[in-house]
């Protein structure tokens, strides 16, 4: 049983102002696996004050000093990777192959990327006689989700540290264990007091206080569009910068070519990864109407091969993260049936032979119309929707007919055609044949948010631009 009842403020583990706790469930067993303290506005204020005090010195450190700190974190992170994997396994039910693989390794990737970017980043640029310089924005409030907990902490914390900002992190209360161990890594690495602070808590108790605090200069939030709107509202009175990575309903246009069957199979498999709990999941697969039956057959076979079960099974996908998430997915699966989509495989309820845990059947719907609920709402579970198109112009029209714009996919053998379609999809990140790049900017159009994370572009969110005129007189 884990018990994390202290917060990390000003370089020390401290008691909450007033102890209030929350039980944390293991979604694989539905049993309590630990508890955390829930922070309050008073705890947030103490953390923000520590970050503000530390900013005076941390913002003036050299590139080399910050590189030394990041290298020290890298050393400690590598020591604790198995502990991080165990935490993700327990808090999310992610199987070892996922928890110890992508979940933990993405955090490591963001750290090494931040180090590489910092080594060569141009903070100063001459513009005639003017010096344009980029300076750390200040104190940052970082609010992270439960679905890729280490990834989202890492892609916020490391650029903030690298650019000279100080911060207060609120990990998700649904998956708080990995955030706790991450903080232990920061502490062991000797990050100066007050530069990094962490307060456990929920949205009403900590998220609101952090996003509305007058001494916070930037709030970076990853989560649902609904919650992102509230963060922006809370931040508006103090005109702080708001960076949001929100929901998605990403199209995957499958081309009518020789790789069609392969493209459908890969797209189905990618949709099921992390039990479908990815904001950029390729949840709307668009296929030629003339090949709909073939797509259905391939998707059915692929989904049938996806094992669901005990997180100790390295080949299985685990449960979804909470009862609330399970109930939402069940409601949306039923909505797909009720609205007339063709249920290819899966459906309501737990998989056969599983009577506890928040496990969802890998589900595929076909003949989905873009006005159906399952095509409009983010399901955030292992549920694929297959829609038909008559030509590529219609495919683009369907792909862009969404409130979201986080990601898009084009799958097929014709690279020239894929490139042309990628330029027409209105989303922030387009993957041709599911390509991946740690340095590529990640973020959304429309109601999927604003700002960018990852790589060099992720640095820019944490920097202010200052013009010093006549700095370089002719």
Residues with a known catalytic role? 245, 279
CA dihedral angle for residue 121, residue 122, residue 123, residue 124, rounded to 10 degrees = 170
Residues 153 and 169: their CA atoms lie apart, in Å, by: 8
Helix 104-120 and helix 81-92, axial crossing angle in degrees, nearest 10: 130
- Establish how many alpha carbons lie within 13 A of residue 268's alpha carbon, considering only the half-sphere containing its beta carbon: 27
**In terms of DSSP bridges, do strands 407-411 and 251-254 run parallel, antiparallel, or are they unpaired?**
parallel
Which value, in Å, is the radius of gyration of the alpha carbons in the chain? 23
Residues 421 and 436: their CA atoms lie apart, in Å, by: 18
Q: Which residues contact 437 (CB under 8 A, 6 or more apart)?
A: none
Bridge partners of 142, per DSSP, are 169, 220
Which spans in 289-383 are helix H?
A: 292-304, 323-338, 373-376
Residues 114 and 73: their CA atoms lie apart, in Å, by: 12
222: nearest Cα among 449, 48, 454: 449
Contact 185, 158 (CB under 8 A): no
425: nearest Cα among 402, 458, 441: 402
**In terms of DSSP bridges, do strands 449-450 and 407-411 run parallel, antiparallel, or are they unpaired?**
unpaired
Residues 400 and 249: their CA atoms lie apart, in Å, by: 10
184: nearest Cα among 101, 108, 73: 73
For the record, the structure tokens of 402 come out as 């969404």
Contact 54, 191 (CB under 8 A): no
What does the buried/exposed string (b/e) look like for 433-457 if buried means 16 or more CB atoms within 10 Å of the residue's CB? beeeeeebbbbbbbbbbbbbbbbbb
**In terms of DSSP bridges, do strands 139-143 and 2-4 run parallel, antiparallel, or are they unpaired?**
unpaired
Bridge partners of 13, per DSSP, are 8
């Amino acid at each position: 049983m884990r018990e994390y009842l202290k917060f990390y403020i000003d370089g020390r583990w401290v008691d909450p102002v007033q102890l209030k706790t929350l039980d944390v469930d293991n979604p694989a067993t539905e049993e309590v696996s630990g508890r955390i303290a829930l922070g309050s506005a008073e705890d947030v204020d103490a953390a923000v004050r520590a970050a503000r005090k530390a900013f005076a010195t941390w913002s003036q450190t050299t590139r080399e000093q910050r590189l030394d700190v990041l290298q020290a974190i890298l050393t400690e992170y590598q020591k604790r990777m198995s502990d991080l994997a165990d935490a993700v396994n327990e808090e999310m039910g992610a199987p070892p192959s996922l928890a110890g693989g992508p979940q933990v390794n993405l955090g490591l990737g963001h750290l090494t990327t931040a180090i590489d970017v910092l080594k060569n980043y141009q903070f100063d640029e001459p513009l005639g006689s003017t010096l344009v310089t980029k300076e750390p924005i200040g104190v940052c409030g970082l609010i992270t989700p439960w679905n890729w907990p280490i990834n989202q902490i890492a892609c916020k914390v490391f650029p903030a540290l690298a650019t000279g900002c100080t911060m207060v992190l609120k990990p998700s209360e649904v998956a708080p264990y990995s955030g706790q161990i991450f903080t232990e890594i920061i502490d062991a690495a000797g990050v100066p007091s007050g530069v990094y602070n962490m307060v456990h808590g929920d949205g009403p108790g900590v998220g609101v206080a952090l996003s509305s605090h007058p001494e916070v200069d930037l709030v970076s939030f990853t989560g649902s569009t609904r919650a992102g709107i509230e963060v922006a509202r809370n931040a508006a009175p103090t005109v702080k910068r708001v960076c949001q990575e929100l929901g998605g309903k990403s199209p995957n246009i499958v081309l009518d070519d020789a790789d069609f069957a392969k493209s459908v199979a890969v797209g189905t498999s990618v949709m099921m990864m992390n039990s479908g709990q990815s904001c950029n999941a390729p949840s709307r697969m668009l296929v030629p109407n003339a090949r709909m039956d073939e797509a259905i057959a391939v998707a059915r076979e692929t989904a049938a091969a996806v094992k669901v079960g005990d997180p100790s099974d390295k080949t299985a996908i685990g449960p979804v993260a909470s009862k609330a998430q399970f109930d939402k997915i069940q409601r949306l699966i039923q909505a797909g049936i009720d609205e007339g989509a063709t249920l290819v495989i899966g459906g309501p309820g737990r998989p056969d032979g599983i009577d506890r845990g928040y496990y969802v059947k890998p589900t595929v719907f076909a003949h989905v119309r873009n006005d159906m609920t399952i095509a409009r709402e983010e399901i955030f579970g292992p549920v694929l929707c297959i829609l038909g198109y008559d030509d590529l112009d219609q495919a683009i029209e369907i792909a862009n007919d969404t409130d979201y714009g986080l990601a898009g996919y084009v799958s097929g053998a014709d690279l020239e055609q894929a490139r042309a379609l990628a330029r027409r999809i209105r989303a922030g990140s387009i993957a041709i044949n599911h390509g991946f790049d740690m340095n590529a900017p990640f973020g959304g159009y429309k109601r999927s948010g604003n700002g960018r994370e990852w790589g060099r572009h992720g640095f820019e969110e944490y920097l202010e631009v200052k013009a010093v005129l006549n700095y370089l007189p002719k």
